[in-house]
């Protein structure tokens, strides 16, 4: 038995009796399809001792099933010109493929096989352990990646949102085959799975194929428990020999389903997304303090933050921090100019429309709507919400987000004595 609902033209949704939710968007002019199998579990859902297990499992599911070895899994998709991949985030793990429509059956069969029949060969576990340790080392060798990781750890007080997705050397080295089987058995139930597809795809066929592949799987046994996340303000300095200091400044912001999320997106865009943004113009173009400078907004379930990244010489750090804080305070006090709001809205609307030209982006959009809202948020509603962001909406979200008392400043590099003065905010010396 299944329950079907319809929304926008071409979009159909079915919930199977076992809990799997399927959402498809048929695009008749396309000759290919993007398919994603989404599991509602990620690094945020791990215990401290299990840090990185979601990501390790994602790697291992491609390393052999009862029907295919690792090479056969890759070759079966690539032989027909398709692409197969996966990723782990804070809150989801996704296994996805893109193929010509005539090979949809192969993509569904391979993805279903790795999710239902993986065997976790011991030899592959040891080889992949080495690969992931190399991935961790690579991230630590990349200053921009590392400073974001260090920021997350301090900003989220070392809680689940602050732990590295790949885990640590200690956790990765400790995992055994029984740990992976326990994790999959506990979290990879059909009630935690969303299947989305966009392109030349037949919804009824996909429902039948998924019903057959997952019909006998039982529900997840590990509950999904996500509460609010507490942030931490202050200055955190990680001394390290380098040519530049990497900087991330962040503030608590809206969560993934907050009605103010559209205004927060416009605010972030106006602050530091693009060469005409305030941060780029003031920090780079007018003062020449940094080459790289941008803002970003990350939203999760019940949590989120607005951040600024920059890379600069050590002597420029105090002034750069002062300038960025000044921009935050000015926008909080005075809001944005109408032209800034218009530019940011247009950037977001253009990005939305450009994304619709990609089957992968459409497939991902279907999944995010289903995972966070339990339904499809129609494009017309999204467009209208972005278009109606005005000075009042910006003023409200800026008052909430741009709170200097909640500011976290994380620095990585040869900071030395060039530490910004954050006034009453705490300062901590942290060794990277």
Query: Using CB atoms within 10 A of its CB, is residue 298 exposed (0-12), middle (13-18) or buried (19+)?
Result: middle
Question: Is-contact 83 97, C-beta < 8 A?
Answer: yes
Catalytic residue among 58, 76, 301, 340: 58
Helix, coil or strand: residue 269: helix
Q: Which helix (H) or strand (E) holds 389?
A: none
Q: Which residues lie closer than 8 Å to 106 by C-beta, 6 or more apart?
A: 76, 77, 80, 82, 99
Query: Using CB atoms within 10 A of its CB, is residue 182 exposed (0-12), middle (13-18) or buried (19+)?
Result: middle
138 flagged as catalytic: no
- Dihedrals phi, psi of 97, to nearest 5 degrees: -145, 155
Pairing mode of beta strands 32-39, 83-88: unpaired
**Within a 10 A sphere around the Cβ of 295, how many other Cβ atoms?**
25
Q: Which residues lie closer than 8 Å to 279 by C-beta, 6 or more apart?
A: 271, 272, 293, 294, 295, 308, 324, 327
- Round to whole Å and give the CA distance between 313 and 111: 47
Active site residues: 58
């Amino acid at each position: 038995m299944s329950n079907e609902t319809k929304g926008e033209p071409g979009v159909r949704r079915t919930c199977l009796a076992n809990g799997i939710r399927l959402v498809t968007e048929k695009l008749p002019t396309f000759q290919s399809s993007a398919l994603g199998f989404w599991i509602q579990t990620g690094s945020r859902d791990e215990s401290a001792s299990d840090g990185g297990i979601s990501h390790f499992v994602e790697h291992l599911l491609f390393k052999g099933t009862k029907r295919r070895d690792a090479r056969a899994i890759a070759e079966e998709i690539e032989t027909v010109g398709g692409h197969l991949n996966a990723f782990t985030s804070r809150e989801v793990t996704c296994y996805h493929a893109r193929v010509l429509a005539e090979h949809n059956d192969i993509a569904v069969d391979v993805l279903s096989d790795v999710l239902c029949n993986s065997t976790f060969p011991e030899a592959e576990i040891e080889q992949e352990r080495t690969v992931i340790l190399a991935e961790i080392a690579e991230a630590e060798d990349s200053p921009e990646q590392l400073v974001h990781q260090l920021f997350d750890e301090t900003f989220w007080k070392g809680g689940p949102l602050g732990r590295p997705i790949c885990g640590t050397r200690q956790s990765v080295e400790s995992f055994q085959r029984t740990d992976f089987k326990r994790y999959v058995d506990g979290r990879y139930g059909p009630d935690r799975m969303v299947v989305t597809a966009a392109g030349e795809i037949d919804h009824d066929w996909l429902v039948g194929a998924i019903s057959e592949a997952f019909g006998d799987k039982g529900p997840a046994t590990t509950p999904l428990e996500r509460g609010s996340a507490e942030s931490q303000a202050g200055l955190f300095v990680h001394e390290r020999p380098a040519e530049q200091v990497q900087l991330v400044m962040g503030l608590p912001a809206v969560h993934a389903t907050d009605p103010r999320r559209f205004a927060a997106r416009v605010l972030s865009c106006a602050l530091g997304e693009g060469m005409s943004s305030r941060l780029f113009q003031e920090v780079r173009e007018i003062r020449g303090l940094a080459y790289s400078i941008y803002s970003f907004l990350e939203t999760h379930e019940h949590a989120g933050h607005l951040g600024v990244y920059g890379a600069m010489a050590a002597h420029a750090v105090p002034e750069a921090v002062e300038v960025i804080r000044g921009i935050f305070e000015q926008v909080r006090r005075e809001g944005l100019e109408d032209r800034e709001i218009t530019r940011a809205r247009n950037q977001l609307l253009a990005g939305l429309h450009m994304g619709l030209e990609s089957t992968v982006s459409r497939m991902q959009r279907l999944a995010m709507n289903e995972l966070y809202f339990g339904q499809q948020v129609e494009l017309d509603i999204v467009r209208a919400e972005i278009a109606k962001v005005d000075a009042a909406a910006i003023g409200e979200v800026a008052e909430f987000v741009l709170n200097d008392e909640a500011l976290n400043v994380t620095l990585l590099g040869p900071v030395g004595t060039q530490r910004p003065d954050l006034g009453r905010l705490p300062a901590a010396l942290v060794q990277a």
